[in-house]
Amino acid sequence: MAKGKSGRKQVSFDDVDVSDLDVKPEVNETVEKQQAKPTKSVVPQLKNSSVLIPFHNLFVLWQMFQMGLTEDIEGTMTSGLVILLPLQLIYNYLIINQMILSKKASKNLNVPLLIISSVLVSLVLSIPVFVIVIFMGAPIYKFTIKSFLLALHLSQLIINPIAMLYTLDFENFKKLFYQDYIYREIFSNVVLSSSLLTVGGCWLGVIPIPLDWDRPWQQWPITLLVGGYAGGVFGGVIALVVRKVRGCSEISV
Amino acid sequence: MDIDTNPPTDGNKSSARIQQQSRTRLRQQKLRYTFIGYIIVLCFLAITQFIGVGFFTKGFLLSRHVLPNIAECVDNSCMRPAKYDKAIFLVIDALRFDFTIPVAGSTEYYHNNFPILYDLAQKENGLLLKFIADPPTTTLQRLKGLTTGSLPTFIDAGSNFNGDHIDEDNWLLQLRRANKTIAFMGDDTWTALFDDYIDPQMNFPYDSLNVWDLHTVDNGVIEHLYPLIQKENSTQWDLLVGHFLGVDHVGHRYGPRHFSMKEKLNQMNEVLEHVVSNLDDDTLLVVIGDHGMDSTGNHGGDAPDELESTLFMYSKSGKFLKKDESAYDVSNEGRNYRSVNQIDLVPTISLLLGLPIPYNNLGFPVDEAFSSHEEILTASYNTLKQLKTFRDNTPNLAHTLLEQFDTLIQHYHDKTYSEQDILLMAKEYQYLSLEQCKSLWARFDLRLIGIGLGILFLALTFMITYSRSIPAVRVSTMSFEFIGSVIAMTMLGLVLSFSIYIVLKPTDFTIWNCLAIGTALGMVIGFWAPIMDRFSINFLWNQIIDFFMYNFNSWSFMGIVFVIAHCLIFASNSYVVWEDKMVSFFLLTFGIGSIYNCAVNTELSRPARILGLSHAITFTIMTRLASMINLCREEQRPYCEATFKTTWWSVLLLHVISYILPMFIASFYKLSDSYHSAAPLWIGTGLSFLLFMNAVYWTFEYVQNSEYFNNMNLIIGIPLIKSLKLAIARLVLFITLVLANFSWSRGPLCVKLELKEENSDESDVSDEAETPGKTATILGYGNVYGSSYFLLVLNFTVAIMLTTKPIGAVSISMLIIQILSLLELSDILAIRKNLISPIIFGLLGYQHFFSTGHQATIPSIQWELGFMTTETIFMPFTHLNIVLNTFGPFIIVSLAIPLITLWRIVPSNKPITVLSQIITNVTTLITYHLFTGLSSLLFAAHFRRHLMVWKIFAPRFMLSGLLIIMLNLFLIVVTLWFGTGRILTQINRIFGK
């Protein structure tokens, strides 16, 4: 079992003087703000968010455990990636489809090219993810392949949806950080929220590793993988709830 | 930075100046006043915490009640005639069992190099057994156990340095009462314990704690032992005790896997050959190890490696009634070899020498030591009688196990069972009795524990209020109110508790306990009174809510998460074991977080962002590198590989560091343009030179210890290297701790006045600018406080780097770079006033505590470094080295904490505001340590029945307790009184307007 811990940054560290935790008390304020400043969100809006909760994460995870993740980690993670990639392609299609439906993306886009290149870009960007995983304390000499496989999975779960959401236009993505209430934006978008909580879940995934239970699933990097996958789904659900709450409050005002 | 001041008009100039001077003086007076107020308040707070820690410690590390009775045998019914007239009792410190038995195929230096014991034990007049010690495995505890037959208590382990005088019945005392003569040579712990019984003519003690000296003690023992065992001298003594320390010292210094171990064991083999060949017919030879050693060569805990040592008995005439061959199975490093308890030696030796069994004995005679079943049976009968007497006189034991005893005695008289069965039943009785005593004496005083926790909790709540809840500006004006009310309330508390003690006369509470509780409660009330007077609970509550509403951002969220997580660590033994990794993980999270924040921060200009990014990346890389240096504690195996070793490359790194570290620091100084005047002298010259001396010291140390160089016969002899090392260590410590601090107190500044000719602006800087046509620029003005204060940090850093082993010194230099880049970061990211900054400092202290080869365990204390400056124990110096070594990282961090406020600010017109911000950071650091400390104490108390309490929770609580005490003292005395006080008044005097 690897005792090095990994994961990635947990939250965004922005100097916004607001707590993202208590959404409810601020609802009125939100509405006022939105009325004062007509919706100029830089986050691409999606029509039907509930479709975009990455439920396929759970399937991939279940499949990996079925294939014996605890016995042969490297092999199973590779085949898990093989399962994940086509699912990510479909997921990408769903994202772009929702965006086209909500008229955020023009129909002239070369959809297949976009979908495939987004997956490829995330594959390449797994290298910086790997570096960060190492920086966060993943073992350096041992378990290199496992850590890299973890990075491949994570970059698919984190970077790929974001790349798709912004149709590979990262300049647009930067604008997000100029927002006043960045967390509110993030948590009302299913894709962003699930990406953020994938990171958070992965960060929390280190917690079971040191326990002296000697269970096979405590091996590196299974807990992080599970944390990341589960965090993604959780993030999607959270975003849906936040949207509901915000939607209700908008109607009530 | 340019300063432009409008010169006052000529007419008013002189009067204005006088006015200004008096105003300045007034302000300085006010600053001093506020400063003293703060210091006194913090002292009071520290005292409250000390009382809390003291109570907890007293309740947790309960000492065992000792019966003062001495066993007497008026009618000789309780003992047997002596089987042997004389005995030679040789202790080979840390002789682990597997050192003495043949281990086939092993090429380790510690195996197969001490064969004589096993060879002799193959005959019927020799006996070799595995000897199980009771934890804690420290020599003092073991000697007490080996002579009194009683169980040790944990608190004695701490007093190993003092070597308490023994006041229990023991077999040396019994020998003395029988008018026998005891000769002694070796470890001076014996003299401390048994001075009264040893014949002063034949007492040859040697200093035991200088673990770097492998030969003095052993050679001394041999020198006095050989003549005394000659035929003509052997009538002078009846018991000869020799205690060899070489094996233990090799373990401490190099670990068992070092070639010196082989030499040492071979030497012991020769000694025993000599002793055996000179042995009388009626003399019993006993050779024992007092404890074992773990794989690093240390001991003190309760791992099998540390507990298993050796018992060897031999006599030329006697015969030992051995068991079946299969009981002495040496395969598998003797795992299944027959073992006896260490305290069993006490009744055995007493009965063999014809003495009464010591009164407090709990052990049972070793079967094989007697020559017939008859003898064993009487021996065991005597022991049972003694056990019964002891139990009858111990209040909590008197009324239990009575029936078993009666039936047992009946069996002895009836002889209905076979001898073997009776013996087994007797052993069963002794086992039950022993277990009962163990559980009884491992009892904790929950009241004292509760009081300690309560006081600490009250101190913590006040500390939070003081450091974070009340506005810092208000706090600065309240010091004298605090002082008044605290003194008044303490008086009241003292009087009240005293009268309560007089009136109620609590039976189990001493007067000091009562007074301490009175003081602590009085102080807490005294602190709260002025706060409640000025603010209401509502106000304080609203302050907290306000904090979460308005001042709460991701950074403070992160800080709170870290503190909570660090406190929760103590709830599980696994996390305490892996605390080093957790701390690194927190710091790395912060590092990655700051990289991320620098990257996306939209308020930063492009150069600031790049600078910030580079600092954040430096911080993260350094943290990651430092996290790779670790010393594994036993519980971390097999998932941990220790990298904390003294190797040739780590010594080489020290040399590299002596060039690189000053360069790095200089480049940080140049960033704020303050590498001037004092800085080049301090950093460029002083630091480089002293670091080089450190490197030379450790090079000598390495050369002295390496097998390769020892075989090379260098021109420089070992004695010369030794004295050179002493000289260097003393020189470096003197320069850094005395000389450099004294010169620092004169106030070095890292600024430079630059005059520019051609500028037309009318500007001057105080009186120093000569003509109005010139522009004077003070370089380094933007970091006046920080650049000067950091020099003080460097003074202590060098001293700490000297007292840290090479790879640890590398980690300390990483700490310095981490601190500097963190300071720059906190300026760029504007988190100076955020609570994350002091918390990260606190975490840095922990990280480097672990990466300088420490763990929260007793064996990982690096005692050997106490002897850097002196060859023998010399009161302040030996202890100073060990404190610097153990708490070094915490010292550096707590010294650097004011820099959060002071780094990169221009001289302030309001020094009191600066001071109050420093106090906020200092108290936040104390609060953080109080949080983790209280949590570790709480969980240590909660898990007091846990299997791992003495191995994991108790050492961790001791670390926390010591940290609370050490940090409070250091922060108040050095950081505030010496450091901050000097720098603020100094700069206020020079630049204050």
Within a domain: A225: yes
Torsion angle, alpha carbons of A52, A58, A63, A66, to 10: -170
Within a domain: A102: yes
pTM equals 0.80
pLDDT tens by residue, B251-289: 888 888 888 899 999 999 999 999 999 888 889 999 999
> Are A210 and B575 inside 8 Å of each other by CB?
yes
Name the residue among B581, B591, B596 with its Cβ closest to that of A210: B581
pLDDT tens by residue, B188-244: 888 878 888 888 888 888 877 666 778 888 998 999 999 988 888 888 899 999 999
Residues from chain B contacting residue A1 (CB–CB below 8 Å): 639
Assign B890 to helix, strand or coil.
helix
Within a domain: A78: yes
pLDDT in tens, chain A (253 residues): 343 444 433 333 333 333 333 333 333 333 344 444 444 567 777 777 788 889 999 999 999 999 988 899 999 999 999 999 999 999 999 988 888 887 766 667 788 899 999 999 999 999 999 999 999 988 888 889 999 999 999 999 999 999 988 888 888 888 888 877 788 888 888 999 999 999 999 999 999 999 888 888 899 889 999 999 999 999 999 999 988 888 777 665 4
Q: CB of A171 within 8 Å of any CB in chain B?
A: no
Q: CB of B664 within 8 Å of any CB in chain A?
A: no
The Cα B932–Cα B305 span in angstroms is 32
How many structural domains comprise chain A?
1
Question: B26 falls in which pLDDT band (50, 70, 90)?
Answer: confident
Q: What is the ipTM of this complex?
A: 0.85
pLDDT tens by residue, B325-348: 888 888 888 888 998 999 899 999
The Cα B357–Cα B70 span in angstroms is 10
Within a domain: A30: no
B387 to B183, B380, B422, B616: CA distances (angstroms): 29, 10, 16, 67
> Are B585 and A136 inside 8 Å of each other by CB?
yes
The Cα B418–Cα B639 span in angstroms is 51
Q: What is the chain B residue with the closest CA to A15?
A: B553
pLDDT of amino acid B769: 44
Count CA within 13 A, CB hemisphere, residue B82.
Answer: 14
Look at B11-15, B243-247, B980-984 and tell me which has the smallest mean pLDDT.
B11-15
Alpha helix stretches (DSSP H) within B829-910: 836-851, 875-896, 899-902
Within a domain: A89: yes
Structural domains of chain B, with CATH: 86-392 (3.40.720.10)
For residues B818 and B380, the model is more confident at B818
Residue B107 has pLDDT above 90, yes or no: no
- Give every CB contact of residue B689 below 8 A, 6+ residues apart in sequence: none
By the 8 A CB rule, do A239 and A165 touch?
no
pLDDT of amino acid B867: 84
Both tokens assigned to B438: 């163990």
Q: CB of B555 within 8 Å of any CB in chain A?
A: yes
Buried b (16+ CB within 10 A) or exposed e, B139-178: bbbbbbbbbbbbbbbbebbeebeebeebebbbbbbbbbee
> Are B628 and A212 inside 8 Å of each other by CB?
no
Residue listed under structure tokens 């990014």: B613
Mean pLDDT, range B416-439, rounded to an integer: 85
The Cα B749–Cα B525 span in angstroms is 43
Pairing type for strands B308-314 and B239-244 reads unpaired
The Cα A22–Cα A26 span in angstroms is 7
The Cα B391–Cα B393 span in angstroms is 5
* Structural domain harbouring A87: 51-246
> Are B585 and A137 inside 8 Å of each other by CB?
yes
The Cα B64–Cα B66 span in angstroms is 6
Mean pLDDT, range B701-729, rounded to an integer: 81
Q: CB of A214 within 8 Å of any CB in chain B?
A: no
By the 8 A CB rule, do B289 and B243 touch?
no
> Are B640 and A3 inside 8 Å of each other by CB?
yes
pLDDT of amino acid B759: 46
Pairing type for strands B283-288 and B86-92 reads parallel
Assign B841 to helix, strand or coil.
helix
One-letter amino acid of B852? T
pLDDT of amino acid B59: 85
How many CB atoms sit inside 10 A of residue B663's CB? 12
Q: CB of B545 within 8 Å of any CB in chain A?
A: no
pLDDT of amino acid A31: 39
The Cα B717–Cα B368 span in angstroms is 50
Q: What is the chain A residue with the closest CA to B568?
A: A207
**Mean pLDDT of chain B, nearest integer:** 86
Within a domain: A37: no
Mean pLDDT, range B819-827, rounded to an integer: 95
Please name every residue paired with B946 in a beta bridge, in sequence order, or none if there are none.
Answer: none
- Give every CB contact of residue B141 below 8 A, 6+ residues apart in sequence: B134, B152, B156, B157, B160
Q: What is the DSSP letter of A233?
A: H
